[in-house]
Structure 1
Amino acid sequence: MRKRIVSGVVATAVVAGLLSGCASGNNNANSGTNSGSNNDATNAEEKVTLSVWAMGDSSKPMEQMAEAFTKENPNITVKVQAIPWGSAHDKLLTAVASKKGPDVLQMGTTWMPEFAAAGAIADLTSDLANYPELAADNFFSGTVTSTQFDGKTVGVPWLAETRVLFYRTDVLSSVGYDQAPKTWDELLDVSKKLTERGKDKYGIGLDPKEPTLSFMFARQNGATLIEDNKAQFEQPAYRDTVAYLNEFFQNGYAPVDLGLDTAQTFGGDGMVPMFISGPWMIKTVKDQLPDIEGKWATAVLPSKENNMSSLGGSNLTVFNYTEHKDAALKFIAFLSKPEIQLEWMNLTGELPANMKAWEDPQLSDDANMAVVGEQLKNAEPMPLVKAWDNISQNFLKTFEQIYRADADIDAQLKDFNAQSQQLLDK
């Protein structure tokens, strides 16, 4: 679901998840503590145990974080248990049904609407002021947006990633671009020039099977995707975005079904000398394409009305039925400190949501990672509605009809908008 990234040395493995918590019916000391109490973790006489579900290989680094936390808070013990990421969603559904589950859980941004609507995660709106580490202005604004649901704050930003432009500086220079394209017009123009280099040469790799692609570009064009629970996919700004993206495929500026990976197309003479992807690709390019060292760079996305990118990652949330809400928040506050987020990054490769952490030389002195940090200032999650995953998957089918079969854009978007509204109305 997510990728791993380390500042200068970016891991390429899929990000391991963390689900932390304790069953509300366990035998912890003073088990009568209720979730609204302010002394469940602050009273040094009271012992509290938080059990942590850590997915895959994230259990070892989480154990290190837990040990450091307990040294500062000897009355709170954190127990870590590894569970498979693939079973996390079902385990949480079971926890919601039984009202016995984790105190704290890491939740991908796309899961937030589903479990917030189900009442699985606690409203933290009135609690965050008690913890300076959890103040909204500590985090990138898009990550804060991902914690909002139905006018409430239901989580704390934890890990963040976004999309940026990767480009071959030498190849673009050969067609008259000494820097990355800064506008939509420039992106189309340089893609055309790059394609004109000859047979089997393209301008940019745009993945038509990437669910966020059109929505990200549409927001750059000023489009609103959903407003007051009404689908907006027939509006001119969205329609024009789809037409713009389709132009890359119809003109051969972006390949379709090339069957080659990025290492094969970005290296050498630059068959595909630009692509849009996440920061995990920094290490991939460094490791797999040493022959182009010094001949590539990253840049923030080109702009139309703005250059907004998509935002992914995960948040830390509190299980709604926990008996140790304050202890849970104290643990989240600890994990939210810039120095702790940097330590977590070094242990796991996952990038921090805390803006202060990005001032560390590990990130700020790495030119490519600094671009990621800059783009995170203008990145937003996909709409926080329960139906979003289905809506985005439906669009992949719609767009395939457009770029592959040259179907009428207006007719396709009319059907897609109607399908989307039906999903929103459920």
Structure 2
Amino acid sequence: MRKSITTVMAGTLLVAGVLTGCASKSTPQSSGSPAAGGSQVTLNVWGMGEEAKSLPKIAEKFMQENPTIKVNVQALPWDTAHDKLLTAVASKKGPDVLQMGTTWIPEFASAKALMDLKPELSKYPEFAEANFYPGAVNTTKQGDTVVGVPWYIDTRVLYYRTDLLKSVGYNEAPKTWDELSDAATKLAARGNGNYGISIDPKEQSLEFMFARQNGSKLLDGNKPLFNQPEFVGAVDYLNSFFKNGSAPKDLGMDIVPAFQKGITPMFISGPWMIKLINDQAPDIKDKWATAVLPKKQNNISALGGSDLSVFQYTEHKDEALKFLAYMSKPETQLEWLKLTNTLPATKKAWEDPALTNDANYKVIGEQMNASEPMPLIKSWEEIAQNFLKTFENIYRGGANVQTELDAFNKKSESILSK
């Protein structure tokens, strides 16, 4: 089970001595002051996942422009990063700059682990809200504070086989819920183990995303709305694909080969699938495309990605902010795109031909205008995990939708009241 901040804080004294190595390696000095006599300051940066292994290449260019700052990058695996951050919070010894998955922001902001950047925003034109997609900006806010700067983004779009959709009367992607259901049903009618669409029941943002499209606010302050008609209708809609056989309950193979063979000619996923399909299924290069999500009341998608934050206990605030400003420049984000295939958070970068000339990335940019993060509250992860169990009872067990959602709503009330 993943540890909570409260659990780790209780063990602060026990682990404090062990954690000394997490502290900034530079000579301590007053907050925000440059190194005395122009000596070099070491800025410790924690990045997450495989893409963070490319961060030293970006840091090298930053150091060339800022010779008094040395950037020391540590790439942490996602599966261990959360606990390492918790121990850093407990000991008050950690990095100067850290990458934050957008869903982690509420937890660490509430623990006062992330510096409030609001007083600093006007000093750096790179931080202007207008530079970024609104959904990305929302991930950085907690109450009256701003605890990060958008770094890279992702959202969900529809992937579809153009040739197979055309064979059932669709010359373009479905644009509405009704069209999506109709196309999936017609594609599944091919038989021989073929389906119309893949609905990933383990994708915890999917049902909440569709609920928003159906007009659900998800939460009204601290009150969950998961048993209200808008949410129930969205779950009913998603469950209909399983009930009529147009979506498999257990596909038994990875999505790319299933898409390649036409077994599941439609699915919803993020921009990382573009490269995977191009690399693993080159034979269907001209037979697939992406589209913005079909619409009910709206076509809001789920926004993910990462922000960059400054650790509350840094001794090098000014240098950390300078690094964040550098990472927020459109040209830096485009360089990051080349290195890692992760998409820029700054709107200006999306004007670059590398993105505007690629039809699939152009769709991602369009969908970003209708993308919002999941509710930015500390307990959201627990709520979302609980929903996966609820939905399994529905799509696999055949349980009554309203009954299951009444129980889920009650459980969510308990979680939110903690």
TM-score by length of 1: 0.89
Query: Residues 80-121 of structure 1: CA distance to partner in whole angstroms, max 9, x if unpaired?
Result: 234444332222111111212111100101111110011100
Q: Corresponding residue for 2:336?
A: 344
- Residues 76 and 263 (structure 1), Cα distance of their counterparts in 2 relative to 1, 3 Å cut: closer
C-alpha distance in structure 2 between counterparts of 1:282 and 1:57, whole Å: 18
**Of 342, 362, 373, which residue of structure 2 is paired with 1:370?**
362
C-alpha distance in structure 2 between counterparts of 1:65 and 1:195, whole Å: 47
C-alpha distance in structure 1 between counterparts of 2:363 and 2:214, whole Å: 21
Q: After TM superposition, give the deviation of residue 48 of structure 1 in Å.
A: 2.6
- Residues 143 and 59 (structure 1), Cα distance of their counterparts in 2 relative to 1, 3 Å cut: closer
Contact in 1 for aligned 2:158/2:291 (Cα 8 Å): yes
- Residues 25 and 81 (structure 1), Cα distance of their counterparts in 2 relative to 1, 3 Å cut: closer
**Of 172, 182, 205, which residue of structure 2 is paired with 1:179?**
172
Q: Corresponding residue for 1:131?
A: 124
Q: After TM superposition, give the deviation of residue 78 of structure 1 in Å.
A: 1.5
User: 3-state SS of the aligned residue for 2:344?
Assistant: coil
Q: Corresponding residue for 1:279?
A: 271
C-alpha distance in structure 1 between counterparts of 2:322 and 2:202, whole Å: 40
**Of 229, 243, 246, which residue of structure 2 is paired with 1:236?**
229
Question: Does structure 1 residue 327 correspond to structure 2 residue 327?
Answer: no
Question: Does structure 1 residue 359 correspond to structure 2 residue 332?
Answer: no
C-alpha distance in structure 2 between counterparts of 1:331 and 1:263, whole Å: 38
User: Which stretches of structure 1, 4 residues or more, deviate above 6 A after TM superposition?
Assistant: 22-25
Q: After TM superposition, give the deviation of residue 42 of structure 1 in Å.
A: 10
Q: Corresponding residue for 1:304?
A: 296
C-alpha distance in structure 1 between counterparts of 2:315 and 2:22, whole Å: 6
Q: After TM superposition, give the deviation of residue 207 of structure 1 in Å.
A: 0.8
Q: After TM superposition, give the deviation of residue 199 of structure 1 in Å.
A: 3.6
Contact in 1 for aligned 2:105/2:376 (Cα 8 Å): yes
Question: Does structure 1 residue 52 correspond to structure 2 residue 45?
Answer: yes
Q: Corresponding residue for 2:74?
A: 81
C-alpha distance in structure 1 between counterparts of 2:37 and 2:343, whole Å: 33
Q: Corresponding residue for 1:111?
A: 104
C-alpha distance in structure 2 between counterparts of 1:42 and 1:171, whole Å: 63
Q: After TM superposition, give the deviation of residue 210 of structure 1 in Å.
A: 1.1
Q: Corresponding residue for 1:190?
A: 183
Question: Does structure 1 residue 382 correspond to structure 2 residue 374?
Answer: yes
C-alpha distance in structure 2 between counterparts of 1:296 and 1:60, whole Å: 31
Contact in 2 for aligned 1:402/1:408 (Cα 8 Å): yes
- Residues 310 and 60 (structure 1), Cα distance of their counterparts in 2 relative to 1, 3 Å cut: closer
| Larger helix fraction of residues | 2
- Residues 63 and 292 (structure 1), Cα distance of their counterparts in 2 relative to 1, 3 Å cut: closer
C-alpha distance in structure 1 between counterparts of 2:121 and 2:415, whole Å: 33
Question: Does structure 1 residue 400 correspond to structure 2 residue 392?
Answer: yes
Q: After TM superposition, give the deviation of residue 41 of structure 1 in Å.
A: 4.5
**Of 31, 35, 43, which residue of structure 2 is paired with 1:34?**
31
C-alpha distance in structure 2 between counterparts of 1:340 and 1:23, whole Å: 30
C-alpha distance in structure 2 between counterparts of 1:43 and 1:344, whole Å: 32
C-alpha distance in structure 1 between counterparts of 2:179 and 2:303, whole Å: 24
C-alpha distance in structure 2 between counterparts of 1:136 and 1:97, whole Å: 31
Note the residue ranges of structure 1 that are not aligned, 5 or more in a row. 1-21
Q: After TM superposition, give the deviation of residue 28 of structure 1 in Å.
A: 3.5
Q: After TM superposition, give the deviation of residue 124 of structure 1 in Å.
A: 1.0
Contact in 2 for aligned 1:144/1:156 (Cα 8 Å): yes
Task: Report which structure shows greater RCO (CA 8 Å, sep ≥6).
Answer: 1
Q: Which moves more between the two structures, 219-228 or 83-92?
A: 83-92
Query: Residues 223-282 of structure 1: CA distance to partner in whole angstroms, max 9, x if unpaired?
Result: 0111211111011110111111111110111111121222332223x2211111111111
User: 3-state SS of the aligned residue for 1:253?
Assistant: coil
State how 1:95-174 maps to structure 2 within 5 Å: 95-174=88-167
Q: Corresponding residue for 2:260?
A: 267
Query: Residues 352-379 of structure 1: CA distance to partner in whole angstroms, max 9, x if unpaired?
Result: 1111111111111011111111111211
Write the letter of the residue equivalent to 1:334.
Y
C-alpha distance in structure 2 between counterparts of 1:371 and 1:131, whole Å: 30
Query: Residues 21-78 of structure 1: CA distance to partner in whole angstroms, max 9, x if unpaired?
Result: x98965745x33225xxxx259984643212234565565322222211222222221
**Of 214, 217, 220, which residue of structure 1 is paired with 2:207?**
214
Write the letter of the residue equivalent to 2:177.
W
TM-score by length of 2: 0.91
**Of 215, 220, 226, which residue of structure 2 is paired with 1:227?**
220
C-alpha distance in structure 2 between counterparts of 1:135 and 1:208, whole Å: 37
- Residues 44 and 333 (structure 1), Cα distance of their counterparts in 2 relative to 1, 3 Å cut: farther
Instruction: Percent identity, please.
Output: 58
Contact in 2 for aligned 1:162/1:279 (Cα 8 Å): yes
User: 3-state SS of the aligned residue for 1:303?
Assistant: coil
Q: Corresponding residue for 2:403?
A: 411
User: 3-state SS of the aligned residue for 1:194?
Assistant: helix
C-alpha distance in structure 1 between counterparts of 2:49 and 2:360, whole Å: 28
User: 3-state SS of the aligned residue for 1:276?
Assistant: strand
C-alpha distance in structure 2 between counterparts of 1:369 and 1:43, whole Å: 46
Contact in 2 for aligned 1:159/1:350 (Cα 8 Å): yes
**Of 285, 288, 300, which residue of structure 1 is paired with 2:280?**
288
Contact in 1 for aligned 2:24/2:44 (Cα 8 Å): no
Q: Corresponding residue for 1:13?
A: none
Q: After TM superposition, give the deviation of residue 283 of structure 1 in Å.
A: 1.8
- Residues 254 and 82 (structure 1), Cα distance of their counterparts in 2 relative to 1, 3 Å cut: closer
Note the residue ranges of structure 2 that are not aligned, 5 or more in a row. 1-19
Q: Corresponding residue for 1:12?
A: none
Query: What's the RMSD between the two structures over aligned residues?
Result: 2.0
C-alpha distance in structure 2 between counterparts of 1:89 and 1:350, whole Å: 21
